[in-house]
Amino acid sequence: MNDVDKVLVVGGGIGGLSAAIAFASHGREVELLEKRPDFNVPGVGLGQPACALRVYRRLGVLEEILDTGFSYNHMSTFDPDRVLIVEHRFLMGGMGLPAFCALPRAVLHDILRRRAQALGVRFRMGAEVSTFGGEHGTSIRFSDGAQAEYDLVAGFDGIRSTARRYIVGDMFGPRHCGIGAWRVQVDRPDCVTGMEFMQGVRGKAGAIPITRDKMYLFNIRPEDPSEFFAADAMHLLMKERLAQFGSYVKEIADSLTPESPIVYGALEPFIVPYPWHRGRVVMGGDAAHVVPPHLTAGAAMAVEDAYVLARCVTSGEGSIQDRLHAYGETRFARNAFVYTFACEWMDIEQSVRSQAELTAAKAEYARNLDGRISAADRILDAFTC
């Protein structure tokens, strides 16, 4: 049964672009609505685990991603002076896929946008949904005054989603958890060949290579939710926060200037219990769940959501309500795992508040970290498409 011909995807992030490609690949007529006037996306880099790479293969963009990005198969955990505590070989990928491939966010956007365009997706830029009307919520009035009817509206409009508000109201949504992430793109030292973390006191630093020449350096630490960081002081604030770390982190901290491309974001995790739809308006990606970045899998989950949504909806099995329910049920379970694991990991690392606790954490990591991440690898890698 084909009861969904015309799809509106709200949001042109990684999730929305993937949803647009997935529906268009199933022969649906797709329009993508993005509130930004262009695709000049802020952000730094994204590590994409093998489960997302498998979806990218289905979407027809894997080769370009692998050619452009930096692939890695291991993760190392160090002390603040970059003395190794434990190395972990990811149990993901295989059959031509690395465990991870990371690339600049803007580059990934560009690859997906071009693929969507090639499949005939129409872009409506610089506008938002003003009202979800009609019996199914799919009679849309846009902020630029236009109106249109769709068979399905897929809300991938990020953490402050309007689709989520339509579906579940204001009950569920982002809350600052008292932790913030500082990131800056810099030249990659030769020694950084995979993802790495340096556990410190009150926070960790780390790096992810995103091209042959570049990586991003990050610092995840407690931050006051009411704090405002002035743009011209960001380099001094980041340098101050990195003071406990040695090795290349110290060199980078010393080299930061007012021109350094520093990005700060508060962590605001949440997950909405399913169902993730109301009528024929459905959501996915950060609209439905936001996870701490510890498994580097938030965008990966958005991409999986997009693929599974298009597969469920176009399968034609059962009523459209049954199909949307099945989508939410399947995706909630997987995202709840990622959410719980990432929140626990963040709590463990952020609870190190003294040198004595750092010594204890190092011993615990040496004993258990490899096994803990292996368990997550197996579950993340189990996604088939």
Ligand X SMILES: Cc1cc2nc3c(=O)[nH]c(=O)nc-3n(C[C@H](O)[C@H](O)[C@H](O)COP(=O)(O)OP(=O)(O)OC[C@H]3O[C@@H](n4cnc5c(N)ncnc54)[C@H](O)[C@@H]3O)c2cc1C
Residues in contact with ligand X by CB under 6 A are 10-16, 33-36, 46-48, 128-129, 156-159, 162, 181, 265, 285-286, 293, 296-300, 302
Name the residue nearer to ligand X (CB basis): 6 or 142. Answer: 142
Q: DSSP state, 119?
A: T
By C-beta, is 79 or 157 nearer to ligand X?
157
**288 to each of 114, 162, 220, 275, 278, how far by Cα in Å?**
26, 11, 23, 10, 13
What residue number has its CB nearest to ligand X? Answer: 13
Task: Provide the minimum distance between the beta carbon of 61 and ligand X in the complex, in angstroms, as a whole number.
Answer: 15
Choose between 70 and 365: whose C-beta lies nearer to ligand X: 70
Considering the complex, what minimum distance in angstroms separates the CB of residue 363 from ligand X?
28
Instruction: Write down the least CB distance from residue 287 to ligand X, Å.
Output: 6
Q: Please report the beta strands in 189-278, taking only residues with DSSP state E, as ranges in sequence order.
A: 195-200, 203-209, 214-222, 262-266, 270-271, 277-278
Q: Residue 35 or 57: which CB sits closer to ligand X?
A: 35
CB of 291 to ligand X, least distance (A): 7
Q: What CA–CA distance (Å, rounded) separates 185 from 207?
A: 10
Q: How far is the CB of 181 from ligand X (least distance, A)?
A: 4
Sign of CA dihedral 7, 13, 17, 22: negative
**Closer of 80 and 158 to ligand X (Cβ):** 158
Cα separations in angstroms, 374 against 214, 314, 358, 368, 382: 27, 34, 23, 10, 12
How far apart CA 301 and CA 50 sit, in angstroms, is 11
Q: How many Å apart are CA 2 and CA 210, to the nearest integer?
A: 41
The partner residues of 88 in beta bridges, in order of sequence, read 75
Instruction: Provide the minimum distance between the beta carbon of 200 and ligand X in the complex, in angstroms, as a whole number.
Output: 17
Residue owning tokens 């439905």: 288
Which CB sits closer to ligand X, 129 or 217?
129
